[in-house]
């Protein structure tokens, strides 16, 4: 890892740069595939599945028999763990429900807000080097609670054309309505335009690699909403001498093993801790099955020493981490002060892995600094807020003249006339 001591604020932007390609590097590829899927539908999807996933499928649709077989083969302890996580995620997202907001702004003028589910949503579940069935819990559970009518799931097939049993089992118990063996850019394009097989959706959710991230952003040009630009995973830990170096190292490695383009950062006011964490990383690295992947991510990561908490917090806010772990004596300073983070984990016994799986919070979070303006996925991500109003005779009398004056000032005579006609009619009563 790269150790940096007391970097000047003028150098922060360069030091904190993510190890990702720019959009320009991959946008042309994404655009070409989108055009082909739009014009050729399932034929183009099959073509790119063969190219990128190395498999030619007779059908991309997952059958009920496949789901049943997956359920039968999955270990019971895995099922139990998934059920426990599902229960906690349901509790947390159920608690996010809100009641109708009703206000009488002026006597006779009632305004209210109600929420309605997005009817058709698409969930993208990465496969690749790890079958992220936990992401299904994070997306399908709130979608179901919100009342989404159609929940479509796309995930890349393995080389033999199968889907990991845990993905199929989790999708079934969470209420996913349709599952397709399609991954990458072609999956996002298919859900954007719709094909003969895969339905078009109104909003697409889920993390992915840089190609998927750019594909989701391109989908917004075609009237499809997305949850956020969620790309490669990242984690920042702030720690001092009260932190356990082994714990910190394990958290850094837990994100590093996601992918070679993941980034992990330690910010500390303790030189000794940085030294100890670096040693622990090398010890723990040797035990990992994904050591090669984790090592490449670690090579792009940073251990940063700063002299005080105020400097540390300013640097962290500038970075805007997806995951932010706080392991310091003065934890309230960071917990109360942080402005830009996707999800915050507090204390030595709150690993980021808990949020990834079973604590109840959502792990679909903004990356690449988007925590400065995006929220992580939550119940409201699957809902639309609709406003309503009802105005009585008394109400139109109370606000009518103000509307006429404002419409006249904007030169919109028809707007004024819509009110004037009503006010004149009331005078005749």
- How far is Cα 333 from Cα 346, in angstroms, rounded to an integer? 12
* The token pair that represents 72 in the structure block: 């039968």
| Residue 84 Rama label (left phi>0; alpha psi -120 to 50; beta) | alpha
Residues of the chain with CATH 1.20.5.1300: 392-427
Homologous superfamily assigned to 23-100+113-227:
Nitrogenase molybdenum iron protein domain (3.40.50.1980)
Q: Is 186 annotated as a binding residue?
A: yes
Torsion angle, alpha carbons of 266, 271, 275, 281, to 10: -10
In 3D space, the residue among 420, 410, 390, 426 whose CA is nearest the CA of residue 105 turns out to be: 390
Question: In what order do the strands lie in the sheet containing 263-268?
Answer: 2-5, 302-305, 263-268, 234-239, 323-327, 343-346
Kindly state the greatest CA–CA separation across the chain: 88
Q: Is 332 annotated as a binding residue?
A: no
What pLDDT does residue 281 have?
A: 97
Question: In what order do the strands lie in the sheet containing 109-117?
Answer: 101-106, 109-117, 383-391
The answer to whether 93 is a known catalytic residue is: no
- CB of 216 closer than 8 Å to CB of 368: no
The number of C-alpha atoms within 13 Å of 92 and in the hemisphere containing its C-beta is 18
Q: Could you report how far apart the first and last alpha carbons of the chain are, in Å?
A: 81
Q: Is 172 annotated as a binding residue?
A: no
Per-residue pLDDT 10s for the chain (429 aa) are: 899 999 999 999 999 998 765 667 789 999 999 999 999 999 999 999 999 999 999 999 999 999 999 999 999 999 999 999 999 999 999 999 999 999 999 999 999 999 999 999 999 998 866 789 999 999 999 999 999 999 999 999 999 999 999 999 999 999 999 999 999 999 999 999 999 999 999 999 998 888 998 999 999 999 999 999 777 889 999 999 999 999 999 999 999 998 888 999 999 999 999 999 999 999 999 999 999 999 999 998 999 999 999 999 999 999 999 999 999 999 999 999 999 999 999 999 999 999 999 999 999 999 989 999 999 999 999 999 999 999 999 999 999 999 999 999 999 999 999 999 999 999 998
- How far is Cα 204 from Cα 125, in angstroms, rounded to an integer? 11
Neighbours of 55 (CB within 10 A): 16
Of the residues 93, 164, 280, 323, only one is catalytic, namely 323
- How far is Cα 361 from Cα 378, in angstroms, rounded to an integer? 8
Residues of the chain with CATH 3.40.50.1980: 23-100+113-227, 232-375
Q: Is 209 annotated as a binding residue?
A: yes
- For residue 379, give Cα distances in angstroms to 40, 117, 126, 289, 382: 35, 10, 21, 35, 6
Three-class SS of 211-277: HHHHHHHHHHHHCCEECCCCCCCEEEEEECCCCCHHHHHHHHHHHHCCCCCCEEEEEECCHHHHHHH
Q: Is 119 annotated as a binding residue?
A: no
Q: Is 289 annotated as a binding residue?
A: no
421: Cβ contacts below 8 Å, ≥ 6 apart: none
* The token pair that represents 226 in the structure block: 């997305």
Torsion angle, alpha carbons of 226, 228, 229, 230, to 10: -110
Alpha-carbon Rg for the chain, nearest whole angstrom, is: 25
What pLDDT does residue 351 have?
A: 98
- How far is Cα 101 from Cα 396, in angstroms, rounded to an integer? 21
What pLDDT does residue 129 have?
A: 64
What residues form DSSP beta bridges with 343?
A: 323
Does residue 57 sit in helix, strand or coil?
coil
Strand pairing class (383-391; 109-117) = antiparallel
Of the residues 164, 322, 352, 363, only one is catalytic, namely 322
The number of C-alpha atoms within 13 Å of 129 and in the hemisphere containing its C-beta is 13
232-375: CATH, from 3.40.50.10490, 3.40.50.300, 3.40.50.1980, 3.90.50.10:
3.40.50.1980
- How far is Cα 296 from Cα 337, in angstroms, rounded to an integer? 32
Give the dihedral sign, CA 98/120/70/135.
Answer: negative
- How far is Cα 64 from Cα 17, in angstroms, rounded to an integer? 45
* The token pair that represents 137 in the structure block: 């819990």
DSSP-assigned letter for residue 350: -
The answer to whether 322 is a known catalytic residue is: yes
In 3D space, the residue among 83, 71, 151 whose CA is nearest the CA of residue 357 turns out to be: 83
Q: Is 356 annotated as a binding residue?
A: yes
- How far is Cα 302 from Cα 405, in angstroms, rounded to an integer? 60
What pLDDT does residue 230 have?
A: 74
Q: Is 93 annotated as a binding residue?
A: no
Q: For the domain bounded by 392-427, which CATH number is listed? A: 1.20.5.1300
């Amino acid at each position: 890892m790269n150790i940096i001591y007391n970097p000047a604020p003028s150098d922060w932007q360069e030091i904190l740069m993510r190890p990702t390609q720019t959009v320009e590097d991959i946008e042309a590829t994404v655009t070409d595939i989108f055009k082909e899927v739009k014009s050729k539908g399932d034929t183009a999807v099959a073509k790119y599945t063969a190219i990128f996933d190395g498999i030619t499928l007779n059908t991309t649709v997952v059958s009920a028999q496949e789901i049943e077989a997956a359920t039968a083969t999955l270990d019971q302890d895995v099922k139990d763990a998934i059920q426990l996580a599902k229960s906690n995620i349901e509790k947390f997202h159920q608690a996010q429900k809100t009641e109708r907001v009703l206000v009488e702004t002026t006597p006779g003028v009632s305004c209210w807000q109600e929420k309605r589910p997005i009817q058709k949503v698409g969930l993208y579940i990465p496969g690749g080097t790890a079958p992220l069935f936990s992401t299904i819990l994070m997306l399908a559970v709130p979608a179901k609670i919100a009342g989404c009518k159609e929940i479509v799931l796309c995930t890349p097939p393995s080389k033999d054309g199968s889907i990991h049993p845990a993905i199929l089992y989790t999708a079934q118990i969470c209420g996913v309505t349709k599952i397709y063996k399609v991954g990458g850019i072609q999956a996002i394009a298919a859900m954007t335009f719709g094909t003969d097989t895969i339905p078009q959706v109104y909003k697409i959710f889920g993390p992915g690699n840089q190609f998927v991230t750019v594909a989701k952003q391109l989908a917004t040009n075609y009237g499809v909403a997305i949850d956020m630009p969620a790309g490669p995973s990242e984690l920042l830990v702030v720690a001092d001498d009260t932190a356990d170096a082994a714990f910190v190292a394990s958290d850094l490695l837990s994100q590093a093993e996601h992918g070679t383009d993941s980034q992990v950062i330690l910010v500390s006011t303790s030189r000794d801790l940085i030294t100890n964490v670096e040693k622990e990383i090398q010890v723990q690295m040797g035990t990992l099955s994904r050591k090669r992947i984790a090592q490449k991510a670690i090579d792009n990561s940073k251990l940063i020493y700063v002299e005080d908490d105020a400097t540390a917090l300013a640097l962290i806010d500038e970075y805007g981490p997806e995951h932010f772990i706080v392991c310091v004596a003065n934890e309230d300073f960071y917990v109360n002060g942080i402005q830009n983070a996707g999800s915050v984990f507090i204390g030595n016994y709150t690993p980021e892995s808990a949020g990834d799986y079973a604590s109840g919070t959502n792990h679909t979070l903004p990356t690449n600094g988007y925590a400065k303006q995006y929220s992580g996925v939550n119940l409201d991500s699957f809902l639309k807020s609709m406003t309503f109003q009802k105005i009585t005779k008394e109400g139109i009398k109370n606000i009518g003249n103000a509307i006429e004056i404002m419409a006249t000032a904007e030169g919109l005579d028809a707007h004024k006339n819509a009110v004037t006609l009503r006010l004149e009619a009331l005078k005749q009563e």
